[in-house]
Amino acid sequence: MNSRDSEHMIAQLREKEGYTMTEEFREADLILINTCSVRERPVHKLFSELGGFNKHKKSGAKIGVCGCTASHLGEEIIKRAPYVNFVLGARNVSKISEVLHKDKAVEIDINYDESEFAFDDFRTSPYKAFINISIGCDKACTFCIVPKTRGDEISIPADLIIQEAKKAVDGGAKEIFLLGQNVNNYGRRFSGDNEKVGFSELLRRLSKIEELKRIRFTSPHPFHMDDEFIEEFARNPKICKSMHMPLQSGSSRILKEMKRGYTKEWFINRVEKLRAECPTVSISTDIIVAFPGESDEDFADTVDVMKKVRFDQIFSFKYSPRPETEAEHLTEVDSEVASDRLSYLQTLNNEIHDEINAALLGNTYSVYFEELIRDGYVSGRSDNNIVIKVKGSEELLGTFQDVKVTTIGRTILTGEILA
Ligand code: SAH
């Protein structure tokens, strides 16, 4: 989501302000830092990075702080780093041109509605297009700062999304990646008088774009994974068979404390339904360890879900208290216990992951190549999100090739293109 916000800002700056990009920040007239505030660490990093940029920037260059940390710290950023020229919140991206010309501007209104704003075009990759389908988040997860930095959830009108997808496909993209905090809650609220379209219907309409070959999305919320959604996912051949299911915790008690709206049993039931409908699906997840009050038994439930589901990929985090969240003042789990749990989970995940990967040797996948990487390799993904590299160069980019897996690695597999 932040990457797409950056693309939107770059688009406005190029088209409206005549900026171009530079690889070297010492030459830049404008330095934008787009921040995250989901966990505490990136916030600390912001101030140390700002110091470095300020010290080495070209004389007269402006510095802007954007994104979620901008939303939640606002003025304080300028107080702590007075050389910052403006602060622009995650929900105010379209105002980039405005703040650029007002010194010390702070635009962080989380009620500002950008859901129908027509951004200019800029994409980092011509092969894969990120497309926002909603702004904000309507959930009330007690650990999460996102609703406080991105505001209420508003869906972007379906016709705007389809228009954007068509434009990306005309520009050569064969894959689109739909973005939102709860994509499968799409359509619950629009800002204007827009046609009420739900997520499954949006997917059906997008898949009618002929030259579009692949549709991905993130994140769906387990609470909204009803049968219709899972069946559309399984049935629609353009939807990539890779599902992100953010578990957060395997303990029903902790899930309730987190206000996630589902139980351990519901989550496992949804995984079973998904695998029954779609046996090739790969499933990834997010897990928070040591949420306040998490006991050994609660953690054992998370481990149990890990063992039952055998996720293809996990993103795991130690709980980090965030300002203005319900859980902020709850007593934290001892930090050593928290670290032990995190490393236990990651070790278990590596074991599961190695077993899953080992079984892929010799398989053949249709890979969509999108990136040049080191040492003369090109990498891409299978439909079910396995990252595979082959020897090759530019001419492979933007093409689909059948690839046989020849070497297994932990984060990337190596393969050979079949003639
Ligand atoms: N909308 C997504 C969450 C996006 S934030 C959802 O509902 O699942 C991305 C991930 O960051 C979350 O899934 C969660 O695992 C992690 N996260 C969010 N707040 C956190 C916190 N306070 N401490 C640690 N991890 C957190």
Average pLDDT, consecutive stretches of 10 residues, N- to C-terminus, the chain (419 residues)? 96 97 96 95 90 96 97 96 98 97 96 95 96 97 97 97 97 97 96 93 97 97 96 97 98 98 98 98 98 98 98 97 97 98 98 96 98 96 97 97 96 94
Measured in angstroms, how far is the CA atom of residue 249 from the centroid of ligand 1?
11
**For residue 44, what pLDDT is reported?**
86
| Atom nearest to 322 CA in ligand 1 | 22
Measured in angstroms, how far is the CA atom of residue 136 from the centroid of ligand 1?
14
According to CATH, where is 3.30.750.200 located in the chain? 273-359
What CATH number is given for 273-359 in this structure?
Answer: 3.30.750.200
317 lines ligand 1 (CB under 6 A): yes
Measured in angstroms, how far is the CA atom of residue 288 from the centroid of ligand 1?
7
Of 38, 26, 2, the residue nearest 323 (C-alpha):
38
Instruction: Please list, in sequence order, all residues whose beta carbon lies within 8 angstroms of the beta carbon of residue 329, skipping any fewer than 6 positions away.
Output: 321
| Atom nearest to 246 CA in ligand 1 | 8
Instruction: Please list, in sequence order, all residues whose beta carbon lies within 8 angstroms of the beta carbon of residue 419, skipping any fewer than 6 positions away.
Output: none
267 lines ligand 1 (CB under 6 A): no
Would you say the C-alpha torsion 353, 359, 362, 363 has a positive or negative sign? negative
284 lines ligand 1 (CB under 6 A): no
| Residue 51 in tokens | 């110091």
Measured in angstroms, how far is the CA atom of residue 181 from the centroid of ligand 1?
10
According to CATH, where is 3.40.50.12160 located in the chain? 2-107
247 lines ligand 1 (CB under 6 A): no
Q: Which of the 8 DSSP states describes residue 331?
A: P
Measured in angstroms, how far is the CA atom of residue 27 from the centroid of ligand 1?
36
According to CATH, where is 2.40.50.140 located in the chain? 364-417
Measured in angstroms, how far is the CA atom of residue 189 from the centroid of ligand 1?
23
Looking at the structure, give the CATH architecture of the domain made up of residues 364-417.
Answer: Beta Barrel (2.40)
Measured in angstroms, how far is the CA atom of residue 388 from the centroid of ligand 1?
27
262 lines ligand 1 (CB under 6 A): no
223 lines ligand 1 (CB under 6 A): no
Candidates 144, 219, 225: which one to mutate for ligand 1, based on the most atoms within 8 Å of Cβ? 144
- Contact in structure between 236 and 207 (CB atoms under 8 Å): yes
**For residue 419, what pLDDT is reported?**
83
Total residue count of the chain as it appears in this document: 419
| Atom nearest to 182 CA in ligand 1 | 1
- Contact in structure between 320 and 41 (CB atoms under 8 Å): yes
Of 181, 191, 16, 4, the residue nearest 112 (C-alpha):
191
Looking at the structure, give the CATH architecture of the domain made up of residues 123-240.
Answer: 2-Layer Sandwich (3.30)
Measured in angstroms, how far is the CA atom of residue 144 from the centroid of ligand 1?
6
Candidates 317, 319, 329, 339: which one to mutate for ligand 1, based on the most atoms within 8 Å of Cβ? 317
- Report helix, strand or coil for 316: strand
β-pairing verdict for 62-67 and 86-89: parallel
Measured in angstroms, how far is the CA atom of residue 38 from the centroid of ligand 1?
6
Q: Which fold has domain 2-107?
A: Rossmann fold (3.40.50)
Candidates 35, 38, 259, 326: which one to mutate for ligand 1, based on the most atoms within 8 Å of Cβ? 38
The answer to whether the peptide bond before residue 379 is cis (omega within 30 degrees of 0) is no
- Contact in structure between 240 and 214 (CB atoms under 8 Å): yes
- Contact in structure between 298 and 253 (CB atoms under 8 Å): yes
According to CATH, where is 3.30.750.210 located in the chain? 123-240
- Contact in structure between 185 and 229 (CB atoms under 8 Å): no
User: Could you give the CA distance from residue 60 to residue 290 in angstroms, rounded to a whole number?
Assistant: 46
Q: Which of the 8 DSSP states describes residue 377?
A: E
In DSSP terms, which residues pair with 106 in a beta bridge?
Answer: 87
| Atom nearest to 327 CA in ligand 1 | 22
User: Could you give the CA distance from residue 303 to residue 308 in angstroms, rounded to a whole number?
Assistant: 9
Measured in angstroms, how far is the CA atom of residue 154 from the centroid of ligand 1?
19
